[in-house]
Structure 1
């Protein structure tokens, strides 16, 4: 049986009011920029971008118009001001007209400006289109829960909404920074891109009918959402079904049934999985001893932690750290 650290929930963490559980979860998301490409394209032109598993990509049309194809879906038209977020890492095609052949990245005159920024000027001299394209990764433990429920494509036209003026201005500022490459431009682009991606996700959450199901519906539930946030705030606490039910203001049986119905797994299984995702994050991002990481997510026994970790990820924690270190060495 897993040995959980016998202490009560952190009173400082849990004393904070819980107004918007889903908003708090979005606040936890941490995006890591991979690279950005500022393109100036003149018709006829076509660009094929390969798929990147587990990576979000986004495109901002800074001027002109073009067609897009995501995966095997039918192409659709995008124009100045449109923001398109692709969530499943599928291959993407951009082209000036639907009969234009697409060139791969290896065939295009891409210029690497910095480690994270590239530019592309290409085409036949006709009508121009500007595209700001970026790749980002969500690195927080909540990312998998959210990504599984997002649609393949989120398309936003900031001009359509009264509140869109700030988003439009942000997109234009990103494009301006990419063109001018002033000191600190990489940092500005990265931070603003994070805001844009989170805003795209938030708008989908607030407007799409499909955004009220599964884990998202659970996070919005006044009672179950409260317990999800409590688990996120104090993952190492000695939670039980009884203590979580008390926090939700429900009977043990009613809470257990509702949590499982909305989230898809029992509360204690959700807690265990959440702890392991947090532990994996710390294994990758820090050099702390495994025993210390185990204690931080609620395990006094390192063997019990190792067993729980392997049950979730199918490999022991030490191997995760070793594989990540090798990947960083060869990057």
Structure 2
């Protein structure tokens, strides 16, 4: 029996921290012979086949995709999307500009219906979860799995907003793109059950409770006894299990989370450093400054100056 949670609490904490955003480019019927080639980029491309089939070319390999299959490329790897393996690929930016400039143009005999966009996050807050994501994520047949209803609703909403002219349509489609990304990430986690790291810890029911506790109480005196109690385990069992699954002790992850929260406050707010010190669980500015410099290679004051805060 799999008692793993959906990991929505701890995962949501991370996604809020890094300000996950999505942008939907288009939902379009593609003309026969279509192909687009995307170079390396700073965001994460997202493609979903709504009708028909196509081929993804990535890292020298072709992967056939059918209706209901979706692709995420979290680190912006170069790739091509093609109707067939022998189709000619045009530069992606040119194809997307042409499609977006003519939203009402429809091919007489469409071969594939595609949803394309990208997702991005604040890379200066380099939470380790994102480094764990592979270059390529393929989620198969989302319309035939548990939770298919959510995928259909989201895709229908995006399609309606993309094809309509209501005020705010683009903003609504982009917000639905964020829902689509999170839903695809959860589906991939369920399919692959990560073995070690942040994602694996989120996927473990007991450890996920402790992880969420760290996220919600990082300003307090969080110790091993509290975390073990939250997980419903003995101190020794919890410490061993957390280290084995996360790949680091609870105290190390707690410090990492505190430092990311501090960096967020330094860059996004004008909160005095003395208040940030307290907000992330340190008893003195000196101790906080030492920990911050070990993590980021500069003092909090210097980061704030260079960030223009």
TM bucket (normalised to shorter chain) is: 0.7 to 0.9
SS of residue matched to 2:85:
coil
Residue aligning to 1:76: 63
Residue aligning to 1:96: 83
Q: 1:303 aligns with which of 262, 275, 286?
A: 286
* Count of residues in Structure 1 that have an aligned counterpart in Structure 2: 301
CA displacement 1:253-312 (0-9 Å, x = unmatched): 443333222221122111111101112222333232233222211124233222212212
How far residue 106 of structure 1 moved from its aligned partner, in angstroms, is 5.0
Distance, in Å, in 1 between the alignment partners of 2:170 and 2:90 is 27
CA displacement 1:88-144 (0-9 Å, x = unmatched): 32112112222233222454471697xxxx767999976443322111124599983
SS of residue matched to 1:315:
coil
Distance, in Å, in 1 between the alignment partners of 2:235 and 2:129 is 27
How far residue 248 of structure 1 moved from its aligned partner, in angstroms, is 4.2
Residue aligning to 2:32: 43
Residue aligning to 1:271: 254
Are residue 85 (structure 1) and residue 85 (structure 2) matched?
no
Distance, in Å, in 2 between the alignment partners of 1:178 and 1:320 is 40
Distance, in Å, in 2 between the alignment partners of 1:121 and 1:321 is 47
Are residue 157 (structure 1) and residue 141 (structure 2) matched?
yes
Are residue 24 (structure 1) and residue 9 (structure 2) matched?
yes
Distance, in Å, in 2 between the alignment partners of 1:299 and 1:194 is 34
SS of residue matched to 1:148:
helix
Alignment of 1:40-189 (within 5 A): 40-53=29-42, 55-70=43-58, 72-108=59-95, 110=97, 127-139=110-122, 144-151=127-134, 152-161=136-145, 163-189=147-173
User: TM-score scaled by structure 1?
Assistant: 0.76
Q: Does the 8 A contact of 1:44 with 1:100 survive in 2?
A: yes
SS of residue matched to 2:68:
coil
User: TM-score scaled by structure 2?
Assistant: 0.81
Q: Does the 8 A contact of 2:139 with 2:187 survive in 1?
A: no
Residue aligning to 2:181: 197
CA displacement 1:60-86 (0-9 Å, x = unmatched): 22444322123x141222233332222
Alpha carbons of structure 1 residues 318 and 93: separation in structure 2 relative to 1, 3 Å? farther
How far residue 171 of structure 1 moved from its aligned partner, in angstroms, is 0.9
Distance, in Å, in 1 between the alignment partners of 2:228 and 2:110 is 62
Distance, in Å, in 2 between the alignment partners of 1:234 and 1:310 is 22
- Consecutive unaligned residues in structure 2, runs of 5 or more: none
Residue aligning to 1:11: none
Distance, in Å, in 1 between the alignment partners of 2:174 and 2:47 is 14
Residue aligning to 1:8: none
Distance, in Å, in 2 between the alignment partners of 1:212 and 1:153 is 16
The structure with higher relative contact order (CA 8 Å, sep 6+) is: 1
Distance, in Å, in 1 between the alignment partners of 2:156 and 2:20 is 21
How far residue 232 of structure 1 moved from its aligned partner, in angstroms, is 0.9
Alpha carbons of structure 1 residues 42 and 307: separation in structure 2 relative to 1, 3 Å? same
Residue aligning to 1:7: none
Alpha carbons of structure 1 residues 23 and 236: separation in structure 2 relative to 1, 3 Å? same
- Aligned-pair RMSD on alpha carbons? 3.4
SS of residue matched to 1:211:
coil
Residue aligning to 2:209: 226
How far residue 200 of structure 1 moved from its aligned partner, in angstroms, is 0.9
